[in-house]
Structure 1
Amino acid sequence: MAWDEWEQLKAEAQARGDTGMRLNGVPPEPAPNAGGPNGVLKVHQADLAAIGDEAFKLYTRLWKEARVTSTETAGTDLTSQGIMLGSALTHVSQRWDRQLNTLMDACALISNHMDFTKNAHQGDEYHIKRRVSSIHALDAGFDESFAPPGKKNDVYGTKEKKDEKG
């Protein structure tokens, strides 16, 4: 943020009568991927799969189309013939290969991470569902609203009357 912009924002706040300082916060904005009022990120499995798939496609295209092995060979040949441009061409080719490998590694990492994330979140989802369902049953046993005070809570089932022997 430029100093002029800061001064302008201060003047606007003062004109509104908002002279209090607010750090690390912005007014709430509508977010299309927010899951609730607290801005919970909502991601669907299809979204993760699509991102991973695109990263894999990019990796494959880079492998097929971006590798240039003839450039380094040409640079070596030119250098052996005494042409100074040859060493520069070899340098550029080696730099390209390093940059390309870095980009391909990033694509592979994204693709693999999306697969891992999809599986991890699916496992988390099952775990949470199991825990919440058991907590709900436990809570029902302690919730007084399920039975009036002094009465048996139906959550535990009804006690069968024993036949009197006589």
Structure 2
Amino acid sequence: MGWDEWEELKARAAERQSTSMQVNHVPGDPGGTEASLEVRQSDLAKIGDHAFKLHMRLWDEARVQVASTETAGAGLKGEGFALGGALEHVSTRWEEQVRSLRDACGHISNHLEFTKKTHRGDDHHIGSALNTIETLTQGFDDRVGGPGARNPVYGTEKEKKDS
């Protein structure tokens, strides 16, 4: 490979990178705060609530005509019309699709409830761990306080006697 060919390949690669999208950070908010990926409990609750309501509505509203469609299909089939079998088939497939959609809504609702509980527990655990680390760090830091002064993390002599 010659030098000119190498330079041409590098230039092509640079062009491809400049025209493609690559996200490796989130730019700051014009208001001054940094953008972050954050999950708010209220957002999860709204999504879960909508999924649950849709789950319930599908059962009540999407199945309204199933019985009459099945009856019509059976009647037409009994009279020798090919449309009767097709109508029964459509009714069966409709029922399967509604069931599948209801299951998906149920999974979304249940998963978001689980996610809320898990994140709440994780936040509590992380907060406790960070508080403990901060306290330990202060206890081991010899630079806290002036020369010869007690580290305030250990309390005063009076607090020791009282406990």
User: TM-score scaled by structure 1?
Assistant: 0.71
For the residues of structure 2 that align with 1:62 and 1:114, how far apart are their CA atoms?
Answer: 19
How has the CA–CA distance of structure 1 residues 134 and 27 changed in structure 2, closer, same or farther, with 3 Å as cutoff? closer
How has the CA–CA distance of structure 1 residues 31 and 78 changed in structure 2, closer, same or farther, with 3 Å as cutoff? farther
Q: CA deviation at 1:21?
A: 5.5
**Aligned match of 2:22 in 22, 25, 46?**
25
1:44 maps to a residue whose letter is R
Instruction: Compute the RMSD of aligned alpha carbons.
Output: 3.4
Question: Which residue does 1:51 correspond to in 2?
Answer: 47
Question: Which residue does 1:4 correspond to in 2?
Answer: none
Question: 1:51-130 alignment to 2 at 5 Å?
Answer: 51-67=47-63, 68-130=66-128
For the residues of structure 2 that align with 1:73 and 1:30, how far apart are their CA atoms?
Answer: 60
Share of identical aligned residues, percent? 48
Deviation by residue 1:51-93 (Cα, 9 ceiling, x = unmatched):
0100011111111110122212211111111111001111111
Partner secondary structure for residue 143 of structure 2: helix
Q: Which moved more, 1:143-152 or 1:105-114?
A: 143-152
Q: CA deviation at 1:44?
A: 0.8
Deviation by residue 1:96-117 (Cα, 9 ceiling, x = unmatched):
1111100000011111111111
How has the CA–CA distance of structure 1 residues 152 and 29 changed in structure 2, closer, same or farther, with 3 Å as cutoff? closer
Which residues of structure 2 form unaligned runs of 5+?
Answer: 1-9, 159-163
Which residues of structure 1 form unaligned runs of 5+?
Answer: 1-12, 161-166
For the residues of structure 2 that align with 1:59 and 1:20, how far apart are their CA atoms?
Answer: 45
Moved over 6 A (4+): none
Q: CA deviation at 1:135?
A: 1.4
Q: CA deviation at 1:47?
A: 0.6
**Aligned match of 1:41 in 3, 26, 37?**
37
Q: Which structure has the highest helix share of the two?
A: 2
Q: CA deviation at 1:153?
A: 2.3
Q: CA deviation at 1:144?
A: 3.4
2:125 maps to a residue whose letter is H
Question: Which residue does 1:138 correspond to in 2?
Answer: 136
Q: CA deviation at 1:125?
A: 1.6
1:47 maps to a residue whose letter is D
Q: CA deviation at 1:26?
A: 3.2
2:95 maps to a residue whose letter is D
For the residues of structure 2 that align with 1:73 and 1:119, how far apart are their CA atoms?
Answer: 46
2:119 maps to a residue whose letter is H
Q: CA deviation at 1:29?
A: 4.8
